[in-house]
Amino acid sequence: MSSSAIPAQRSESAWLKRFEPVPAPRVRLVCLPHAGGTAGAYHAWTGDLPADVELVAVQYPGRQERFGEPCVTEMGTLADHITRALLPLADRPLALFGHSMGASVAYEVALRLTFRHQVRPTALFVSGQASPLRRSEGQDLHLRDDEGLLAGLRALGGVEEEVFADPDLRQLVIPSLRSDMRLIRNYRRTQAHRVDIPVTAYVGDADPEVSLGDIQAWRDLTTAEFTARSLPGGHFYLQDRQAELVADIAARLTSVRAR
């Protein structure tokens, strides 16, 4: 089996986590993690969202309860699986949020939902990631040795300190980190494929990898309304600015009405 293949018998529901299911949500907010991240990164968001907004977090293979599954190494394969997993939830409006690598995955999922399945998300929120039309100038972290990989991510604030202190934990997280970094580094969009979806792009004002100009370039990928916002902080600004970020997202979802 190739490293990008997923066992056919694996339920698509393994891709999604609903920490606090909502019986009849007005909208479902689908959240996609950063490279090496897990669905649990969004667990705390449930307390900041309106009661009629259901949070659905994506769990990539190769981590936590999916540790025994191979990581996906190609963007198209990853987006295909997530799109299929979301289709049963399209009975309610869907909005997509992705941070860092997750922003690019969210965009690819939005394309597939819209053009393959005629399911148009109500909003696309992208965070801490340059437009797919821009070549990232970041370093090839996936080519470094383990210590170099972790050091590069530590500089971005993307690795919890206990990972550095626990050799066993490092060996658990490094494979997914390396695979995800390779996936996003190899991801390309050579021409604009625009979606008719409102796009809001966020970035930390001290992000060493992504600039305000990088996120403003997302404007070229939508024919609908576009907004760019800068919040205080670095690449993982959303950890300290969670309440402010989620409140802004919730405000932009106020006009969404359940079908």
* Phi, psi dihedral angles at 119 (to 5 degrees): -115, 105
Query: How many degrees, rounded to 5, is the angle at CA 231 between CA 140 and CA 122?
Result: 85
The whole-angstrom separation of Cα 92 and Cα 112 is 17
Residue 106 C-alpha from the chain's centroid: 6
Tell me, yes or no, if 43 is annotated catalytic: no
Among the listed residues 4, 100, 127, 179, the single catalytic one is: 100
> Pairing mode, if any, of strands 16-17 and 53-58?
antiparallel
Among the listed residues 34, 81, 142, 235, the single catalytic one is: 235
**What are the residues whose beta carbons fall under 8 Å from the beta carbon of 211, sequence distance 6 or more?**
130, 203
Q: Which residues pair with 55 in a beta bridge?
A: 29
The whole-angstrom separation of Cα 201 and Cα 228 is 5
Q: Write the DSSP symbol of residue 99.
A: E
Tell me, yes or no, if 100 is annotated catalytic: yes
Strand 226-231's sheet: what is its strand order?
Answer: 16-17, 53-58, 27-32, 94-99, 123-127, 199-204, 226-231
Rg (CA), the chain: 17
Q: Which residues are catalytic?
A: 100, 235
